[in-house]
Structure 1
């Protein structure tokens, strides 16, 4: 089991970020946080880095259900979706929630995480 699902896309980085947001929204996810890693590394430590954006995606209904199943699961929320520039194109990848949630001994939560993962994979595949 891999801990992420990825797709390589040809196109403009910023356009792919917007397409990723739209695909997430189509599957019930909002973007709660956005980290521009390139800008942050430049500002904080003076290092140049490739375009790299981390989107903290959350499906509020599914997050609520997970929190009811496991009160400490919030340490693993939101689900990260990353857009990065590579030499071959723009890569979009999302965490596999079941991979990280398998550390919690709660079969109901693991099943729920698999469902969330299906939605995230669908969103990535549609970008």
Structure 2
């Protein structure tokens, strides 16, 4: 599922900048057990460039997180941050347009997995 998710993101111009294995981190830091949980920090450079041009401080909201969460039945749930919701507090029409396009691209990637 991780490889398919990465491929679906790449097909839409996203690269994965970060990969956080939350399960391993919680085990190492807290000796706590949890189901598999992976966070991929995905960024589409063209869209990030447009977003930063519209609102220079938006870098605090980048990259877009995509979550792969292991379920008790062995399935894996894939979900992504909603950039429109994340950036709603910033009243900027140009940024809202970019966020809407990124939302659609992420939705398509998740659906393809």
Confirm or deny that 1:91 pairs with 2:77: yes
Q: Under a length normalisation based on structure 1, what TM-score does the superposition of the two structures give?
A: 0.86
Separation in 1, partners of 2:53, 2:95: 10
Report how far residue 87 of structure 1 moved.
Answer: 2.2
Of 29, 39, 55, the residue aligned with 1:54 is 39
Q: SS at 2:68's partner residue?
A: strand
Report matched runs for 1:20-39 at 5 Å: 20-39=5-24
User: Match of 1:125?
Assistant: 111
Q: How many residues align?
A: 112
Separation in 2, partners of 1:103, 1:71: 15
Report how far residue 86 of structure 1 moved.
Answer: 0.7
Q: Under a length normalisation based on structure 2, what TM-score does the superposition of the two structures give?
A: 0.97
**Residue ranges of structure 2 left out of the alignment (5+ in a row):** none
Separation in 1, partners of 2:62, 2:95: 13
Report how far residue 120 of structure 1 moved.
Answer: 0.4
Instruction: Give the 4+ runs in structure 1 shifted more than 6 A.
Output: none
User: Match of 2:90?
Assistant: 104
User: Match of 1:65?
Assistant: 50
Q: Residue 18 of structure 2 contacts residue 42 of structure 2 at CA under 8 Å; is this kept in 1?
A: yes
RMSD after superposition? 0.7
